[in-house]
Structure 1
Amino acid sequence: MLRYTLMRLGILVGCFVVVWGLVYSGLVPRGLGDSNGLWIVMLALVISAPISFVVLRKERDRASVNVVARVDRMKANLEANRSQEDDPADDSAKARSQAS
């Protein structure tokens, strides 16, 4: 998961640098008034999102498999703990209901 996050951040930084260069070279319009920095960040976010979606598909799938495995392991541990924590009163109640 950390690898995916770092790759996504790298794509965002790369897009930021490219957009910054395009804005200051005059190929892309500057923001209104003092909003130039915000304009560059927002434009970089909008551009990096679809790039990350396409380029990082395999890494995202790998991270998803790891998350699913971790959740399954946690569910198995929870179920094992739940079965160990049965109350003795429950056992006696089950024994009485079976005897009836």
Structure 2
Amino acid sequence: MKEFLVYTGLRAGIFLASLLVVGGAWALVTGDDQVPALWVVLLAFLISGVASLFLLNRQREAFARRVEDRADRATARFEAAKAKEDEPG
């Protein structure tokens, strides 16, 4: 669960930082106080997605390992219960 929270928090942080940078850059370049929110959010979403692919690789792999370990343990418990059920007795 910790890995999920860390990855999600970092991903949200990258998105917020991208949102601020894109919104600020848009306002500076256009000189307009009315920044189109939809375009800023879409650009920030794309930028943060690409950035997280490179910046959060280690956290994503840790999360994937944790999920795989939990799935392996669940499968082992299921197989053990199935074998116990199949015992003659």
Identity value in percent: 34
Aligned-pair RMSD on alpha carbons? 2.5
1:74 paired with 2:74, answer: yes
Between the aligned partners of 1:9 and 1:72, the Cα distance in structure 2 is: 29
2:24 aligned residue (16, 21, 25)? 21
Tell me: CA distance 1:25–1:43, structure 2 relative to 1, closer, same or farther (3 Å): same
Any residues of structure 2 matched to 1:1-100 within 5 Å, and which?
1-26=4-29, 36-86=36-86, 91=88
Offset of 1:36 from its aligned partner? 1.0
- CA displacement 1:33-91 (0-9 Å, x = unmatched): x981110000001111111000001111111111110100010011111122238xxx4
Report which stretch shifted further, 52-61 or 77-86: 77-86
Tell me: CA distance 1:14–1:26, structure 2 relative to 1, closer, same or farther (3 Å): same
- Specify which structure has the bigger relative contact order, considering alpha-carbon pairs within 8 angstroms and separated by 6 or more residues: 2
Between the aligned partners of 1:40 and 1:85, the Cα distance in structure 2 is: 58
- Contact 2:26–2:35 (8 Å) recurs in 1: no
Aligned residue type for 1:5? T
The structure number with the bigger radius of gyration is 1
Offset of 1:23 from its aligned partner? 1.1
Q: Which runs of 4+ in 1 moved over 2 A?
A: 84-87
